[in-house]
Structure 1
Amino acid sequence: MEYTMSTDTATTTPAIATGTYMIDPSHSEVGFVARHAMITKVRGAFRTFEGTGYFDQKNPSNSHLKLDILADSIDTGNADRDGHLRGNDFFDMENHPRITFASTSIEAAGHDTYRVTGDLSLRGVTKPVVVEFEFAGTAIDPFGNHRMGLEGSVVVNRKDWGLNFNAALDTGGVLVGEKVTLNFDVSAIKTD
């Protein structure tokens, strides 16, 4: 394996990232942003998730990714709101405890950018989505782990998955926007 010196962190990093990876949840985030009351944005994240995949840097079409999220781990910083999101108005977590994403194809979309198409399943509904990921590079951490970083996002319409709750505002508009941005900041550890 070839190695190069990173100019940003002064750590040795592998030049080729091809291999099997496991997402490190303690250094990653699966988050979301949604419009509230038409005037502001609410941010949140899922705190419990796991993911695995294979990344072929030279031939991305050989790559694949799977993500499994415990829906009950939702955290928006407000216990009442989190309780509402866990209920039937939104995620119906009692009947649908997991949110999953499984890639169906991966392709290069530019320099260090990859288009990941896959099936997003939540609340008993599965729909295809396309997530644009930026390859953030590789590093070897102080414990000798080979790491790869990826950052991606996609905008979805929550109603496509049956998250239909809303309330009209006296000033016009609605309480919860339909569009939700899903954000993925991933640090993955090479396992082979």
Structure 2
Amino acid sequence: MTESASTATVADLSGTYEIDASHSRVGFVARHAMVTKVRGAFNDVAGTATVGSDLSDARVEVTIQAASIDTRNEQRDGHLRSNDFLAMDEYPTITFVSTGVTQTGPTSLDITGDLTIKGTTNSVTVPFEFEGGATDPFGNQRVGFEGSVKINRKDYGVTWNAPLETGGVLVSEKIDLEFEISAIKTA
């Protein structure tokens, strides 16, 4: 694939791709104390996508190590790893396995799949924008995607919270998951 980002489309994809974790980000955003947002990311992410001649045959699998959560605050990260939130000792991974891929435009697609957090699985659909493809200086065929989806953490058994004196709660139920993916074609 030597197309520039401006001319490549989802239809140009076929093959097997591996997430390049050092050039990708799987992050999240949560409201904190009802007045601001806390952002974080998972630093240990692995995954593959296999695309045949038709997107309906595509398969995406992603595994995130829960212990790799990073909000730039050690105390908060420790709390998020605890049984109050991710219970990483019992549930060390967060997984996503696609159940369907649908092209929604020349450079956009929806990936529907089973998201498992803390042992609970729910179906989610993540809209993605194909940012393009290029051959990098090392000869790798590389593609980029960006997407996000809002989930309710309580749907995954992540229920801890603390009430605020002024009303509301310390941590929002709604969490934005953000994906900035760079993947390298392997086959």
* TM-score normalised per structure 2: 0.94
Q: Is the 8 A contact 2:5 2:131 kept in 1?
A: no
Aligned counterparts of 2:105 and 2:165: Cα–Cα separation in 1: 46
Write the letter of the residue equivalent to 1:174.
V
- The total of aligned residue pairs comes to 185
Equivalent position of 1:145 in the other structure: 140
Name the SS for the 1:61 alignment partner.
helix
Quote the sequence identity (%): 55
Is residue 2:13 matched to residue 1:27?
no
Aligned counterparts of 1:164 and 1:129: Cα–Cα separation in 2: 19
User: Aligned Cα RMSD in Å?
Assistant: 1.7
Aligned counterparts of 2:86 and 2:172: Cα–Cα separation in 1: 16
Matches within 5 A, 1:82-121: 82-121=77-116
* TM-score normalised per structure 1: 0.92
Unaligned runs of 5+ in 1: none
Q: Is the 8 A contact 1:17 1:138 kept in 2?
A: no
- Greater relative contact order (Cα 8 A, min sep 6): structure 1 or 2? 2
Q: Is the 8 A contact 1:158 1:164 kept in 2?
A: yes
Aligned counterparts of 1:61 and 1:36: Cα–Cα separation in 2: 39
Write the letter of the residue equivalent to 1:83.
G
**How far apart are residue 17 of structure 1 and its match?**
2.6
Unaligned runs of 5+ in 2: none
Write the letter of the residue equivalent to 2:123.
P
Matches within 5 A, 1:50-129: 50-56=46-52, 59-129=54-124
Change (3 A) 1:165 1:24: same
